[in-house]
Amino acid sequence: MGKVTGDMSVSCHVECPHCEELIDLFDITWLTDEGLLYKRIFEGERFGCKDLDEEINCPDCKVEFKVGEIVW
């Protein structure tokens, strides 16, 4: 019998409050460097984050905004 490998895909979408662009936080390199976002969202026995408080720039309209809570 053949053996296959599965792929897991993770995304964490936020909407820019200025232009409504949908942004996947996992596409932002500095948030995923050294597992920062993974550690904050998948911490311990709970998933999500009540106090992420990361400032990001929208790739579309370039306006900066803060991401607070991530819900699972």
pLDDT digits (tens, 9 = 90+) for 24-63: 999 999 999 999 899 888 887 778 888 889 999 999 999 9
Does a structural domain hold residue 3?
no
Range of the domain at 57: 13-67
How many folded domains does the chain comprise? 1
- What's the pTM value of the predicted model, to 2 decimals? 0.82
Does a structural domain hold residue 8?
no
By the 10 Å C-beta count (0-12 exposed, 13-18 middle, 19+ buried), 25 is classed as buried
Q: What is the DSSP letter of 35?
A: G
Does a structural domain hold residue 54?
yes
Does a structural domain hold residue 17?
yes
> Whole-angstrom Cα distance, residue 1 to residue 50?
45
Whether 16 and 63 have beta carbons less than 8 Å apart is answered as yes
Does a structural domain hold residue 6?
no
Q: Which two tokens stand for residue 69?
A: 């809570």
Provide the terminal-to-terminal Cα distance of the chain, rounded to the nearest Å. 37
